[in-house]
Amino acid sequence: MNSLLNYAIPGVPYGCEFALMAVGLVLTYRATGVFNLAFGAQAFLSAFVYDLLQRADGMPQWVALVVSVGLLAPALGLALDRFLYRRIPQASTTGKVVVSIGVLIAIPELVPMVFSATTRTRLGHLWLPAGQVYLHLAQTPITGAVISTVVISVGVVAVLAAMLRWSGLGLRMRAVVESRRMAQLEGIAATRVAATAWVLSSVLAGLAGVLLLPQMGSLDPTQPLEFTALLVAGMTAAAAAGLTSLPGAFVAGIAIGVLETVVQQELPSGSVVAQGIIPALPFVLLVAVLLLNPRLRTLGRDSDPLASVDPPPPQPAVTTRDARLALPMRWGFRLLVVAFLVSSLTWVSDTWVFPFGQGLAFSVIFLSITLVTGMGGQLSLCQATFAGIGAFTTGQLAAHLGLPVLLGALAGAALAAVVGAGVALVVARVSGLLLTLVTLAFALFADSVLFQFSWSGGGLAGVSVPRPQLGPVSFAGDRAFLLLAFVVLVASAGLVVAVQRGATGRMLAALRGSPAGAAAVGIDPARARVTIFALSGAMAGVGGALYGSIQGPVSPADFSYVVSLAFVLVVVTTGSRTVEGAVQGGMAYAVIAQALTYVPTRFAGIELILFAAGALTYAAHPEGIVEYQRSVWLERVNGLLRAHDRYRQERGGGVGPSRHGDGGYGSRRGAAPGAPAAAEVVGRG
Amino acid sequence: MGDPAAGERAGSGEQSAAGERATAGGGTAVAGEPLLAVADVSIAFGGVQALAGVSLAVAAGEAVGLVGPNGAGKTTLFECIGGRLRPDGGSVRFAGADLAGVPAHRRSRLGIARTFQRVEVFPELTPVEHVLVAARARQGGGMLWRDLVRRGTPRPDEVEQARALVGMVGLADAADVPVAALGLGHTRLVELARALASSPRLLLADEPSSGLDTTETAVIAALLRRIQRERGVAVLLVEHDLALVRRAVDRVVVLDSGHVIADGPFALVVADPAVRRAYLGRSA
Ligand SMILES: Nc1ncnc2c1ncn2[C@@H]1O[C@H](COP(=O)(O)OP(=O)(O)OP(=O)(O)O)[C@@H](O)[C@H]1O
Ligand SMILES: [Mg+2]
């Protein structure tokens, strides 16, 4: 008993961190429907600034605290509400999650640009000196860090609970969650409630970050997302509380902190159990809670009884293009492709041929996002993991069995397909937010456990993937490899288009458009998801093998969950619903990175900030901001052509070039039917 | 026992309707079980008892109206039959089999098609594609390979049939327009065409005329009759427009606050004092 206590007590401060995060997550989810994945980034920002101020000579601790947690955090919360989330109350849960991923990636990229990028050790602490032992509890030494963390977290959450209860804010929040519309009819300012929730949760994040400082050892602004443990445990606690109960979230957080330390100490160490199973436990726990907590079942269903009052969420406009544009555009595109190939095979310098090849590999990986997100309608946050499976399988098979790289890539794709189908099977009964969180848990798991073995991702050392050889033809040179990657991309794109146009694509469009309607015609959503996840896994696996082969050595860091998040940001910016979107994204991702090698390294983050900014518009433009701009321009050209027609008709007495129509029926949603045949639908959804 | 609704009759003022319903029900029910048999279904949302022991039967090829004031539980009953809601108690049987635990998409493949009060169409797809997707879903399986082999083009005969069905509901002009660009009247027709595409034995239609003007309503009424008479599809129709109900069905079941309060031929049911009370007492 005593020894159990000995193990349990050190878990309490961790538990308090988890609890703060869980309470913050539940708060914003309840009030605004946003599952705020950026919580860790907000914590990082406050912690960073607190530590920075603390270092300034003669700065009292409380000033640093007031600035970082008392001013900066609420300001950030208000800004998030005001400029991002308030504008998209009607967006789907997925749309909101994408926006929070944008914030999650952008904040830590901005920090080293604004401040300096040097790694700091001997971090600051809050209140009591962290290392000093104050008392013993059941023979366990209790340090200042422990006391500060526990007292401050419990105190803050108690104050919060009192506020929610006595000021009526809790009641208003409940009303807003039940039915935003009804609450507004009752005169509750839903926007004010949301803003309050953002401020409160942001303060909690700041506090959690500052309290975490002494436990972190060092703070490296370029590796800011090492919040994995916090993220996983916080999500688990929030999910255990059904994403609704604040006290539940707090208690669950502490319980998880204690549970994890006890399990770590109690299980035999130095065995397979210690190496494989213990690190995996937090992820298993997270997935189990996500799938088994009955209170999460109804999540993501449209539950506002007055939902029909609201306008439907934005549907991408149906774009038509004038028939006269079809031919020039098609030939223009072909010309572009040929010009790209010829130039990169001949005169383009080696410095650029390499990123071009990378871009082609990324494009193949991004097509897997087109499949699962654009067509399947599910946000997957483990596409880089699938790519990693492809790359590592190829490398390992080549190293140990001497399997040719091309065969290895096929094997990798097959394995990634199986894993993808497995993920979809595990989550067969859920979709939307829950599915997204399970994929994130899987990515985190692969990151910190699965890819760390010498037989899988090789841990820090990584795995080396050779360049392929086809009979006498070697693809070892960058130019030859580029040609191969191009062929693979064309084949992959052809496959995606075939699936999109065919019965599978229609079925997925049906599921995206209306799950209820799809079920009513006999479409099995679970089976559809398994199909698309398997296909998407295979595609990512092929892309990953290509990427590995062009890089040579690859390590788990190349396929970490942060990479998965970055991939998603890129694709939702350039367009997740079309092949063009994936290819533009892949090329841009590689080429911008190469271009940024010419600027000081602390500005390398500009690339991800760009894409994060693009992703922030996802809720408003689910077809991708680039794609949206494209259709706007197309519409302008259409308009010019129409104006030209009218002019010709007026001048020529009505004998216009009547073989083409006047632009089409539905250049904008809601237009009347009665389509002249000459307009062609080029982009829908 | 063969008369599931009889036990539900609570009051005594509807004696005449009860007697009439018994004859009507006896006349339409084929030997053995009716196509759809709902027995004693109950469901509560928090404190609201949306359905309190509802029983009704629909024979093969029969058209039945389901009416009642707002909030009576009509849509909720449809969700229980369609499989999106699981009743707290009671049973739903279709074609002799108990549907408990059968998910919604499987029920559709058994032959239950439906339309929705809040239209549930697929905005990106055209009416023809709606029909294609429904027809293919009925067959199930093997789509991916066919897509890859045929590079995504559907077979000509499938397209032919789909066009015929879209033409039958009167949407030939808009057959290739994404549904997002169509008006409400057209989307309700799209839902009907999609429902028919899976060759159902029972069609559940939830307020197909709400939000439509009188000519559009007339089109829907005629169409429902045709569906029942020419295709032999049994129809269970929820409708507030009693003129439409009169033209489209043989028999009417009245639901109020989760209870069946009348069941019989249209003329008798609307004359029933309990029914009048349920409607007027609420809205007056
Ligand atoms: N998901 C739900 N959660 C809570 N209550 C619900 C839910 N669905 C229905 N109800 C309630 O159940 C009752 C029956 O609703 P239902 O939609 O079945 O009525 P209806 O007869 O279809 O009405 P209408 O003619 O207005 O369509 C109503 O009181 C409604 O508020
Ligand atoms: Mg209804």
Say whether pLDDT at A481 is over 90: yes
**Average pLDDT score over residue span B28-56:** 84
Taking one residue from A and the other from B, the number of pairs with CB-CB distance under 8 angstroms is 159
Q: Whose CA is nearest to atom 7 of ligand 1?
A: B45
A556 to chain B, minimum CA–CA distance in Å?
32
**Confidence (pLDDT) at A23:** 93
Distance of alpha carbon A74 from alpha carbon A69, whole angstroms: 7
SS3 state of residue A221: coil
Say whether pLDDT at A639 is over 90: no
Say whether pLDDT at A50 is over 70: yes
**Confidence (pLDDT) at A298:** 65
A127: which DSSP letter? S
Q: Which fold has domain A348-623?
A: ABC transporter involved in vitamin B12 uptake, BtuC (1.10.3470)
**Average pLDDT score over residue span B12-28:** 38
Q: What is the pLDDT of residues B233-278, one digit of tens each?
A: 999 999 988 888 888 888 999 999 999 998 999 888 888 888 888 7
Distance of alpha carbon B273 from alpha carbon B12, whole angstroms: 11
**Confidence (pLDDT) at A439:** 93
Closest atom, ligand 1, to C-alpha of B207: 27
Residues A56, A58, A63: CA angle, nearest 5 degrees: 80
Q: Confidence class of residue B3 from pLDDT cuts 50, 70 and 90?
A: very low
Neighbours of A652 (CB within 10 A): 10
Distance of alpha carbon B20 from alpha carbon B33, whole angstroms: 20
* B 162-181 residues with CB < 8 A to A: 173-174, 176-178, 180-181
3-state secondary structure B137-202: HHHCCCHHHHHHHHCCCCCHHHHHHHHHHHHHCCCHHHCCCCHHHCCHHHHHHHHHHHHHHCCCCE
Does B197 touch chain A if contact means CB atoms closer than 8 Å?
yes
Say whether pLDDT at A25 is over 50: yes
**Average pLDDT score over residue span A359-376:** 95
Q: What is the pLDDT of residues A124-181, one digit of tens each?
A: 777 777 778 788 877 778 888 888 888 999 999 999 888 888 887 777 877 776 666 6
Residues of B in contact with A685 (CB under 8 A): 123-124
Residues of B in contact with A509 (CB under 8 A): 122, 124-125, 129, 133
**Average pLDDT score over residue span A368-375:** 94
Q: What is the ipTM of this complex?
A: 0.84
Alpha-carbon A544 to chain mean position: 18
Does B152 touch chain A if contact means CB atoms closer than 8 Å?
yes
Q: How far is the CA of B255 from the centre of ligand 1 (A)?
A: 12
Domain map (residue ranges) of chain A: 2-259, 313-343+630-685, 348-623
**Confidence (pLDDT) at A541:** 97
Q: What is the pLDDT of residues A175-217, one digit of tens each?
A: 776 666 677 777 677 788 889 999 999 999 999 888 888 777 6
**Confidence (pLDDT) at A275:** 65
Q: Confidence class of residue A659 from pLDDT cuts 50, 70 and 90?
A: very low
Say whether pLDDT at A286 is over 70: yes
Say whether pLDDT at A493 is over 80: yes
Say whether pLDDT at A277 is over 90: no
Query: Residue A100: phi, psi to the nearest 5?
Result: -70, -30
Say whether pLDDT at B107 is over 50: yes
Query: Residue A526 forms beta bridges with which residues?
Result: none
Q: How far is the CA of A164 from the centre of ligand 2 (A)?
A: 36
Q: Which two tokens stand for residue B193?
A: 């065409």
A249 to chain B, minimum CA–CA distance in Å?
23
A50 to chain B, minimum CA–CA distance in Å?
47
Architecture of domain B115-199: 3-Layer(aba) Sandwich (3.40)
If you average pLDDT over every residue of chain A, what do you get? Answer: 83
Q: The pTM is what?
A: 0.87
Closest atom, ligand 1, to C-alpha of B69: 25
**Average pLDDT score over residue span A501-521:** 90
**Confidence (pLDDT) at B6:** 40
Please give the full DSSP string across B201-219, using - where no structure is assigned: SEEEEE-TTTT--HHHHHH
Residues A237, A238, A242: CA angle, nearest 5 degrees: 110
Q: Confidence class of residue A263 from pLDDT cuts 50, 70 and 90?
A: confident
Residues of B in contact with A506 (CB under 8 A): 125, 129, 132-133, 136
Ligand with the closest atom to the CA of A306: 1
Neighbours of A428 (CB within 10 A): 15
Q: Which of A15-24, A381-390, A474-483, B202-211 has the highest mean pLDDT?
A: A381-390
Say whether pLDDT at A669 is over 50: no
**Average pLDDT score over residue span B277-281:** 72
Closest atom, ligand 1, to C-alpha of B79: 18
Query: Any alpha helices (H) in A402-524, and if so which ranges?
Result: 405-426, 432-448, 478-501, 503-513, 515-520
Ligand with the closest atom to the CA of B240: 1
Say whether pLDDT at A657 is over 50: no
**Confidence (pLDDT) at A318:** 55
**Confidence (pLDDT) at A536:** 97
Helix, strand, coil distribution of chain B in percent, nearest 5 = 45, 20, 35
Ligand with the closest atom to the CA of A302: 1
Q: Where are the beta strands (DSSP E) in A188-313?
A: 218-219
Lining residues, ligand 1, CB within 6 Å: B 45, 48, 50, 68, 70-76, 117
Report CA torsion sign: A210, A215, A218, A223: negative
Does B50 touch chain A if contact means CB atoms closer than 8 Å?
no
Give, as residue ranges, everything with CB less than 5 Å from ion ligand 2. Answer: B 75, 117
**Average pLDDT score over residue span B131-138:** 89
